[in-house]
Amino acid sequence: MVRRGFNPKKPKGFRPSLNIENLLQEKLRLLEKDKSSTKWNTQKSRIIDRLFQSWADMIYFLESIADNPELQDVFEKDLKELFEVKPDSSKKQLSPLFAAESGGLRIKETAFARFVFASLIPHEDEYENFRLNLLNTLQSVVYAKTNWMLTRRGGRDIVKQSALEDVGKAFRWTYYLNKSNKDYADDPSRFLDFNAPYKATLRKRRKK
């Protein structure tokens, strides 16, 4: 089926909205002049609320697809494009770290990689912020998914067991470091106001 208004021969580029660009640039100007602005604070609250709304929409969208194989068939190609979308190769806009190799690993130049990487910045603050908790959460999901995949694919041979143990070590390391951290989620002012449609224990099996 051809989507109306979509031309596969003419790729479509996406930029941040002018609202978010102007918000951040205006704040940098205010900080440089050591000034504050009630108008800017109001604008910030409105735009940040939109980001939270987009967050809720994305989570509901993905959880609904995860819980309904028939929706996965409809959106699978779009999801692959969404998470693997790459920046314009003609623009040098990525951090050099994306091209660097460490221990034989290389960070993929995709939107998903940029999102995760930027979420964990800054590095220099070490353990004194919520980002270590984000890293621990990410590793716990990777560990659970890895364990599920290895178990489903015919038990655990030596190679599979070794891989799972390595992932587990990284997860336990961030868990240990994170134990003494302040819980930044205490008394949140914003929250997700809907139940998850997707439960891992109730995952529907695709009909063969």
Q: Under the phi-then-psi rule, with left for phi > 0, alpha for psi from -120 to 50, and beta for the rest, what region is 143?
A: alpha
At 78 the pLDDT is: 92
- Which value, to the nearest 10 degrees, does the dihedral of the CA atoms of residues 55, 61, 63, 69 take? -160
Mean pLDDT in residue range 113-118 = 86
Separation between Cα atoms, residue 191 and residue 120, nearest integer Å: 21
68: nearest Cα among 196, 197, 201, 208: 197
pLDDT tens readout for residues 139-198? 888 888 888 877 776 655 777 778 788 888 888 888 887 776 666 556 678 888 888 886
Q: What's the confidence (pLDDT) of residue 2?
A: 44
Query: In this predicted model, which residue has the larger pLDDT, 87 or 65?
Result: 65
What is the residue-averaged pLDDT of the chain? 79
Domain boundaries, the chain: 17-65, 126-182
Please indicate, yes or no, whether the overall pTM of this predicted structure exceeds 0.85: no
pLDDT for position 36: 93
Q: Over 60: is that where the pLDDT of 5 sits?
A: no
Mean pLDDT along residues 17-34: 96
Q: What is the pLDDT of residue 182?
A: 61
